Structure 1
Amino acid sequence: MEQSKIEKKNETQIEKTVGWILRTGVFISIVIMLIGVIIFFVKGNDGYPNKIPSNLLSLFNGLLQAKAAAWMMIGIFVLILTPAIRVFASIFAFLFEKDYLYTTITAIVFLILVFAAIIGLS
Structure 2
Amino acid sequence: MKNENRQEIKNESNIEEGIGWILRIGVAIAVIIMFVGVLLFFINQNTGYGKTIPVNLVLLIKGLEELKAGAWIMIGIFILILTPTIRVFASIFAFLIVKDYLYTAITGLVFCILLFAAFIGLKG
Partner of 2:51: 50
| Runs of 4+ displaced beyond 4 Å | none
Q: Considering only aligned residues, what root-mean-square deviation do their CA atoms show, in Å?
A: 0.7
Residues 2-81 of structure 1 mapped to structure 2, 5 A cutoff = 2-81=3-82
What TM-score do you get using the length of structure 2 for normalisation? 0.96
Query: What residue ranges of structure 1 are gaps of 5+ in the alignment?
Result: none
Q: CA deviation at 1:50?
A: 2.6
Query: What residue ranges of structure 2 are gaps of 5+ in the alignment?
Result: none
**14-23 vs 57-66, greater mean Cα deviation:** 57-66
Partner of 1:85: 86
Distance 2:51 2:95 in 1: 47
- 1:51-76 deviation line (CA, Å, top 9, x unaligned): 11112111111111110011001000
Distance 1:43 1:112 in 2: 40
What TM-score do you get using the length of structure 1 for normalisation? 0.97
